[in-house]
Structure 1
Amino acid sequence: MLEAAAELAEAPLNRIADSLRNAILPFFRNSALIIFTEDCTGRPQKKSGEEDILSRVSITELDRLRSVLPDNGPWHNRAVIAGEPRNVLALRHPSSHALLVLTDPSIIAEDSEAEATAILRYFWRLTATRIQEKVSDAPPSYLLESRAASAERVRVTAELIDQHSTTLETLLAALRSGSLDDAEARTSVTDMAVKALIELRTLNDRTSDLVEEPVMTAFERLREDLRPLMHFSNIDFQFIEPPKSGRALPGEVAHAARAVVRGLALAIAEQPDVSRVRTQWDCDGENLLINVRDDGRGELSADAASISRLQHRVQAVDGRMSIDVMPGWGADISVVIPLDSGIKGGGDAAAWGLAARELEVLQLLSSGQRNRIIATTMHISENTVKFHIKNLYQKLNVRSRAEAIALAHATGIRRP
């Protein structure tokens, strides 16, 4: 258990589901483990287990399941996961509202239910806390991937909305035309179509909520993050709030902004004779504008390692940071982060060493095609497609289709 806990404490975000599943398998058998967390805007699902379940589970299913969970204790019941009713064991983390789902769970015979559940709770709490810590201190590589994945999910959802909205609206127009004699059937089908439209629009709103954060909410979370520093230092932290009507921030922008301001606050707090730090956020509709100013001696070094790391965080989301040091008067730092994605290449695709067929599969994946369509397009079997995808995962160092697609889009790979 100590080794499993240590592995979880050190696990990167893209491996944390595997680490958690390995930790609990001696106590809980399961066909799949799914983590749903809105802290990770680009990849809210973290999964491990049977691919048939992992590839089909949806955010809508997880969100619906989370809405019925009790506040205390695990929930053991049947729920629709990956399109089918299944036995599930689900827990919710109280502070982040992250959700853990085990499908087809069963307790190992020699362990009592109370002991196994206590161990599951412990490992889940450790995992959820680890996710919160990693996201709050997100490195540039994570922010790049998060922005790419967020943009891809929004694109796919928008296409889905357009396609089904047109279909359902056409159906409604036809049914309302009076060409059907059976009024009762027409009313019934109309009601079903209206309900489907509402659900589709709700899904669109829900997806937008997952990848965006109101600017006021993001700023308030920054204030909470800095509260311990405010409490234990003698520095007066002043917060100039953004306009309440400001444009919502993409999740990766909000994470980057908070991380940068926290880093600047810590660097400033280490300077002598600083008594006041002012933090201001604003939004011009296209950029998040951040200003941090102190009243110290003006000894903050733009060449310091801590400032250099913050520069990399800003650059990861296509932003820029400038520092104006005024000897005897303090430092004035300005950060500009664009709100719309301007993803730069995520790496050199040639370095992956892809064969021609693997590159073609990746191009089709990046356009949203499923295995059956890829097989038909390339005139190969679905098993061959799966073989190529497995090789792609290894060469790209990813664990899922979503990661592969995000990396392909970040690198500029598209279907010719």
Structure 2
Amino acid sequence: MTSASTASRSDRVWMSDHARALAEQTDRHAVTLESLLAILRSTRLDDRAARQTAIDVAGSALVALRSSEDERHQELLESVVDAFAHLKAELRPLVRFGELDVQYIDPPVNGRALPGDVAQAARAIVRNAVLAIADGAQARRVRVQWDCDGLHLLMGIRDDGRGELHAHDDALRPIVENVAALDGEMTVSSTLGWGTDIGIAIPLDLAPVPSPLEDAAELTERERDVLRHLALGARNAEIARAMGISPHTVKFYVSKLLRKAGARNRAELAALMR
């Protein structure tokens, strides 16, 4: 392998890590902003208390942002209990002042330690799910449960909404993409009038990172077309119109590309393509 090729691969790895870090920060900022809105809208706080609480939450978020670089160099493994406690701490302001009642079922203390990537992805999945449910304003209660069978991290997310969600909803797209990128499995079961139950299993031993996309001979011509549109920032509906296929077919191709590339979301796919 030439030095230029080695440098090119290193650049791709850097871009993938950079895109992953940006996605993680975006998730955290979304939770912080939703928490601030919940505080300012809360009828349980007067103006002075709301202002001080919002300042405290924003200050804590700034401290977390400044220390995020240090977090990347911490232990490569997290106990499942610590990872779950971290998740609850991230969601605490939103749960305390928002309209959504989030209930937690703690994982067993003897669960296998989670690789850092799996722990971060699992928290991102739950954050996205809680934000999607809160934005929908249909549910009043959501239950979050983690477990570990030794080979997989098992997650359950159940709400008491109208029971109209399905796996193809745009609100669940970030979750579907994260699960697909980790070679996980996801089921969505909805019952009208009774809510939605999301089940997710993520393997703890991740597959090795595949070759760069442009060198991947196993990509079909359709997959390459979808990838080129993604690299330009096109949305699913725009890709569907340009290629003359349905948005659901585009989602199918995007999921396949995520698995083949080892990317967690569309931003990482675009970064790898570039």
Partner of 1:120: none
The answer to whether the 8 Å contact 1:212/1:251 transfers is yes
Structure 1 runs, 4 residues or longer, greater than 4 Å off: none
What residue number does 1:129 align with? 65
Partner residue in 1 for 2:94: 229
Does the aligned pair in 2 maintain the 1:272–1:297 contact within 8 Å?
Answer: no
User: Which is greater in Rg?
Assistant: 1
Q: What residue in structure 1 maps to residue 208 of structure 2?
A: 343
Amino acid at match of 1:252: D
C-alpha contact (below 8 Å) 1:274/1:296 kept by paired residues:
yes
Instruction: Tell me if the contact between 1:240 and 1:279 (Cα under 8 Å) persists in the aligned partners.
Output: yes
Q: Does the CA contact (< 8 Å) of 2:167 and 2:176 recur in 1?
A: no
Distance in 2 between residues matched to 1:270 and 1:350, nearest whole Å: 40
Deviations 1:53-85 (A, max 9, x none): xxxxxxxxxxxxxxxxxxxxxxxxxxxxxxxxx
Q: Which residue of structure 2 aligns with residue 302 of structure 1?
A: 167
Paired AA for residue 279 in structure 1: V
User: Do the aligned partners of residues 247 and 14 (structure 1) sit closer, same or farther apart at CA in structure 2, a change above 3 Å counting?
Assistant: same
Unaligned stretches of 5+ residues in structure 1: 1-12, 16-38, 40-94, 97-124, 136-145, 147-206, 353-416
Paired residues of 1:322 and 1:335 also in contact (CA < 8 A): yes
Counterpart of 1:321 (choices 186, 189, 198) is 186
Aligned to 2:154: 289
Q: Is the alpha carbon distance of 1:244 and 1:273 closer, same or farther for their aligned partners in structure 2, counting shifts above 3 Å?
A: same
Question: TM-score normalized by structure 2?
Answer: 0.52
Shift of residue 349, structure 1, vs aligned partner: 6.2
1:312 aligned residue: 177
**Does 1 or 2 have the higher relative contact order (CA < 8 Å, sep 6+)?**
2
How far, CA to CA, are the matches of 1:313 and 1:268 in structure 2?
17
Q: For residues 330 and 344 of structure 1, what CA distance do their matches in structure 2 show?
A: 37
DSSP 3-state at the match of 1:323? strand
Deviation per CA, 1:337-372: give whole Å up to 9, x if none.
0001223524346379xxxxxxxxxxxxxxxxxxxx
Where is the helix percentage greater, Structure 1 or Structure 2? 2
Cα offset, 1:312, TM superposition = 0.9
Per the alignment, do residues 348 and 271 of structure 1 end up closer, same or farther by CA in structure 2, a change over 3 Å counting?
Answer: closer
CA separation in 2, counterparts of 1:351 and 1:253?
Answer: 25
Q: Which of 171, 195, 198 in structure 2 is aligned with 1:333? A: 198
Taking the TM superposition and a 5 Å limit, the aligned residue runs for 1:35-46 are none
Q: Contact between 1:271 and 1:300, CA under 8 Å: does it hold in 2?
A: no
Query: Is the Cα–Cα contact under 8 Å of residues 241 and 280 in structure 1 kept in the other structure?
Result: yes
The CA distance in 2 between the partners of 1:260 and 1:324, in whole Å, is: 17
Q: Tell me the SS of whatever aligns to 2:175.
A: helix
Residue 310 (structure 1) shift:
1.4
Equivalent residue letter for 1:343:
P
Provide the aligned length of Structure 1 versus Structure 2: 163
- How far residue 229 of structure 1 moved from its aligned partner, in angstroms, is 1.7
Question: What is the alpha-carbon distance in structure 2 between the residues aligned to residue 249 and residue 347 of structure 1?
Answer: 26
Aligned counterparts of 1:318 and 1:242: Cα–Cα separation in 2: 22
Where do residues 103-252 of structure 1 align in structure 2 (5 Å cutoff)? 129=65, 132=68, 210-252=75-117
Identity percentage of aligned residues: 45
Q: Conserved in 2, the CA contact under 8 Å of 1:268 and 1:300?
A: no
Q: CA RMSD in A?
A: 3.5
Q: Which residue of 1 aligns with 2:145?
A: 280
Deviation string, structure 1 residues 127-182 (Cα, Å, up to 9, x no partner) = x726739x9xxxxxxxxxx9xxxxxxxxxxxxxxxxxxxxxxxxxxxxxxxxxxxx
